[in-house]
Amino acid sequence: MTLSNGVTELIPEAHIESVQSVPPFKITDPQPVRRLSGADPVGLGVLRQCLHILLYYTKVTQDDSGWLHAGWIKESLSRALLEQPLFAGRLREGAIELGELVIVANDCGVRLIHSRTPMTMSEFLAYKDSMEDAEANLVFWNDIDEQNPRYSPLFYVQVTNFQCGGTSVGISCSVLLADLLFKENFLKKWANIHNLLLSDKSLPVTPFYTFPHVEKKGSSPKSIFVSNPGKKCGKIMIFNVTVGNVDSENDDALQFCAEEAESKFGVGKFFVKINNSGSGIMVENFRKGGLAKPKLSGIAEAGWDDFGAKEVEFREGNKPACVSYWVGLISGGLVMAMPSSADQEGASELVKVIVTVPN
């Protein structure tokens, strides 16, 4: 809620037009598996947490409807998932005696939501600066079911059309897979595939997955597909850490990053550490013992811009007018360590550490 000329105004909710599942373009065989291990990964609450990325794009051509854009998004996403099929996978039980979970790339699909809002993009952007949780309308997320997670998507995309013809693309990704977005430059690769499809003269002008003439009766699909998007309930700091400072035996660098974030934003109740390496994810309580030593070398504050989302063009030459990132549904603190992007200069020597402190 915000005030304008003394009048209380509410941002209209985005109306959902359609909800679809997007599997990889071809069957994934063999199916990659990623192990989730730790003392109590479910009890630590990581299944309820996700990373949100929201990109805003102005309208490019007069004849480009929102339905066409959403249709091409689905076409390109299905092909991009060939390179990263884990986003279309689901959680399964692993070694029962160890209480282990695994993420299996079983082609169940990413959930794609197409919505519209009666506001123009400029109106919305003006509102969001004064209403912290306004952007929750433009992303979709449903918590992973902790008792039976096998049916819960791990990745959502919401394409929202503004009244002016602009579009937002909202990505909601489980924190268990967040490193794959950055390390493999998934968004950039997806956008490149999207532009190749648009320039392919052998393809029809209208994508196969477009339903602009479907008559809608009754309630919006929103009454069926419930979203509980993560609001901006945490403050974030990002660090570049030399790879030699981050390993399974030494948490000094991660402790330093957490303490720097706490000194800036306030003390967190507790921290959960997610360490991504190879085919496995280690989730554990992160106990800060305090550092009785001077500042460690090889640690520097970084920012979201390092991840390159501002360069993601779903229409060639049309960079995002604005990009937002946040980690939602934070009950305690979160420390995520992940390798830097393969395209980033010196990436082999750096680890990105993202620290979230709850408000």
pLDDT of residue 342: 56
Q: Model confidence over 79-121: pLDDT tens digits?
A: 999 999 999 999 988 754 455 788 999 999 999 999 999 999 9
> Using CA atoms, how far apart are residues 159 and 85, in angstroms rounded to an integer?
20
pLDDT of residue 97: 47
pLDDT of residue 269: 57
More confident residue, 226 or 45: 45
pLDDT of residue 8: 36
More confident residue, 28 or 272: 28
- Judged by average pLDDT, the poorest of 21-30, 42-51, 157-166 is 42-51
Distances (CA, A) of 112 to 96, 139, 147, 174: 32, 10, 24, 15
- Judged by average pLDDT, the poorest of 149-158, 202-211, 320-329 is 202-211
Q: Give the chain's end-to-end CA distance (angstroms, integer).
A: 19
Residue whose C-alpha is closest to residue 273's, from 100, 45, 23, 104: 45
Q: Model confidence over 262-274: pLDDT tens digits?
A: 888 876 656 677 7
Q: Model confidence over 213-244: pLDDT tens digits?
A: 444 554 555 555 666 666 666 788 999 988 77
The token pair at 21 is 């599942």
Q: Is 101 helix (H, G, I), strand (E, B) or coil?
A: strand
Burial of 190 (0-12, 13-18, 19+ CB in 10 A): buried
Q: Is 248 helix (H, G, I), strand (E, B) or coil?
A: coil
Q: Model confidence over 300-357: pLDDT tens digits?
A: 999 988 888 999 999 888 999 999 998 876 667 788 888 776 555 545 578 888 888 8
- Judged by average pLDDT, the poorest of 186-195, 242-251, 286-295, 334-343 is 286-295
Angle at 241 between CA 240 and CA 242, to 5 degrees: 125
Q: What average pLDDT does the segment 42-57 reach?
A: 84
3-state secondary structure 102-132: EEECCCCCEEEEEEECCCCHHHHHHHHCCCC
Q: What average pLDDT does the segment 291-308 reach?
A: 77
pLDDT of residue 4: 39
Q: What is the DSSP letter of 283?
A: E
C-alpha of 111 from chain center: 13
> Using CA atoms, how far apart are residues 180 and 173, in angstroms rounded to an integer?
10
| Domain ranges (residues) in the chain | 2-232+304-329
The token pair at 172 is 């909601």
Question: Is residue 182 scored above 50 in pLDDT?
Answer: yes
More confident residue, 104 or 3: 104
- Name the pLDDT band for 136 (thresholds 50, 70, 90): confident
Q: Is 99 helix (H, G, I), strand (E, B) or coil?
A: coil
Mean pLDDT (the chain) is: 79
Residues of the chain above pLDDT 70, percent: 72
More confident residue, 145 or 160: 160
CATH for 2-232+304-329 is 3.30.559.10
pLDDT of residue 1: 36
More confident residue, 291 or 45: 45
